Structure 1
Amino acid sequence: MSNWADLTTGKRIKHLRGSDLTQQALAEAAGVSLALVQKAEQDRGDLSVGSLLKLANTLKTDVAVILGQQAPRQGMSRDDRAALRHLSNAVHESALGEWDGINNPSTLDELSAVRDLAWGAYWASDTAKVSSLASKVLMEGQVRYNSATGVERERLALVLASTYRVAASCANGFGHRDLALSALTSAKILAKEADDPVMLALLESTLSWIYLRGAQTPRAVAVAERAAQAIEPSFSRASRSEFLAYGRLMISAAVAASRREDAHAADDYISQAQAAAARLGREEKLYGTSFGPTAAKTEAVGIHVALRNYGQALKLASQPDMAKLPKSMSKVARNRYKLDVALAQCESKLYDRAADTLIEVGLDAPQWVKHQALPGVIGKRLAKVSTARVRNISELIGVPLVA
């Protein structure tokens, strides 16, 4: 087979489909039309991100593989594969109580500090560090949890639940859905034992994302909406943590609704998220999750892009308070927002600005970019104007963007 990145998107889809799966069968399994599959394999027209998600999920692969940013089975670096294997062992063996030989596990405060470092590594897109730190917390935390009582046991349960959640988030980012669900299952058991509704709400937000990445958008919306109703704050008496969790769930529901092209529902959810953000007044962080006015606005930009409201997305992005993002904003969140802006710029025929934004993201987070769908989508749009420019961008950021 030719170099995977040199194939067209249509040829990649056809290769992944193979001879055992007909175009009609792929269309039915993915929930798209036969005409869409036929046009995709003939490289006629552009696929929406929603259609790419559906096809990737049915073909048991990642959107980045279809777009040529990763090769099948070899798309992940050796270090990332090793880190995820290590993390998988920690998730499953800790839940099964298989850890032995730990005579002096770390204290509760030490485990909490390492948990926070694991979340920091996740938002910096450092998979190896997430694996190393999270594994330590799960290994030693379960040993201490098994012998703890009272308040210490409740606090340990929350530290462990949050650590299982970062493991789930990391695994889901690489398309390892089964590992993500396993980690989330353990996290929910611990959160229920600790009787912490905010932690449970944030776990549901992660579950919604897992369903979204698996192209199960109705379930993604339903999970987020159900959890939001369970924790919906009284705006006169709610705690800041409840506003954070509710706002983040509304964002999850809005994103999923936008992938279903349900503009009315998406607008309603984002309005509720912005109301919660306004009550917070500033960015807050809890259990590895950030939310506030800036987060609500950057997410709203992405939602407008998904709904093809590119002018509205750029109008939001051009507001004075969006010119300089807060230093507290994670690398992943910052670059995900910038990719949304780049796509909106591209669709508005601001090709030079879109190219500059894509280069900025690629240089800032080269490893993270390889696992994202939007760089390939943006690259295809830009290639219609200048293939040479896109090839230069590909070489500069180290990510294949066009065949």
Structure 2
Amino acid sequence: MLSSTFLSLSLFFLTSIATPAKRYDLDGNGVPDLCTTNSDGTASCLLSDGSLTTFKTSTTIPAPRATVTLPDPATFKKDNGTKWSIKYVGNLAFTGTLQAKGLGGDKCRSSKLGNKVIWSCGDMECKGGFTSSGCGFSMGPAFYGTSSVLTVNTTGISLVQSNDFAVPFSGDPKPVAPQSAFGMDTSNVAAINATHGVAYAFEIWRGASDGSFVNRGNAVVSVTLGNERPIATRVGPLLTGPNTIQLGLLAILRDGDFVYTYSIGGPSGIIVGRVAASDQVFSASAYSFLVAGSTSTWKTPGSIPAASSTTFGMTTTNSGGKFSCGAYGSVFFNTYLGKYVIICTAFENFTNMYVSATPFGPWSAEYGLLNGWGIGYGSMAHPEFSTDGGKTFHFSQGPDGPFNMFEVSFNF
């Protein structure tokens, strides 16, 4: 029997699922609105100010259009400095006490829910750690953004763990020696509607003196907008056991009527799954995955694939048919290019970009954006802050200290 918690949350998540939604730009800002088609011939779109509007799909509505055609990767490399550019624009800053104490960590992802930007981060602490000059430690806090891509709102927070986001469920088994603590590696947030979103986390036990850890499995959380901070609520036990892919940890994306999950694995290096943007996100059997070598064949296996699975995977024209992506990245739609974009890091030194006409490929060969800067741990794009329809976007990277922010500008 479903718990009362699950039932109450499912009412918020319930969404009319029909055909994939056409892209609309109702507020004319050059950024596609988040829209869902309804069974009655209407569509509902979430605008940039957080309001929701519904209209008949037969109505003539402006849709975002590609502005340019991206050249091939070799030409793109030659065009650096003329038709496109990248520059370091500073470090991600935090307001109040946490900035003064030097807050930093592994990664910080950004997402949009309603009219709020959510920053969800990983393994965050200040220079002083747990001493009086520090600010404690959080395996995964979340904060609200400001109007600037370079500033996160942490005013009034003295201990970073006060903003813990995805945390272990009360029924999760406690760590067994030599492990002493939980770890929760968290995805970005995908909107379900104007007030609720979803995020994924992979739970581990850690803390052993030898640096070892124990995988526990995938979790799904419902995300809501609290007065002071984003709230993540676990709904029941872990979605999977320890031997599956780490669901959505590369990135997740709400597109049309689906939440797409991007996970490291498969013959090409990335497995893409999708599930209806509704309370089905809490059911492992509801997820479908793109069959390896295919560009449109989906299979619903009834469970989340094993980490060793070779059955599923996206395609890329990259050398050897493999993506050069580590554990983390971002996937988003760029209006200027008229393409879906993957940003990710290889070998903690090379930030690459891939583009596709659909959220599941086939994907291009890699476009090199950045190398030689130093160690980069998961390049996280922040398209929520693009004000020119995607002609310019930002991404940040850590780890273990300040987050460096870069600006990519296209002029094709």
TM-score, normalised to structure 2's length? 0.27
Instruction: Choose between structure 1 and 2: higher strand proportion.
Output: 2
TM-score, normalised to structure 1's length? 0.28
Instruction: Choose between structure 1 and 2: higher helix proportion.
Output: 1
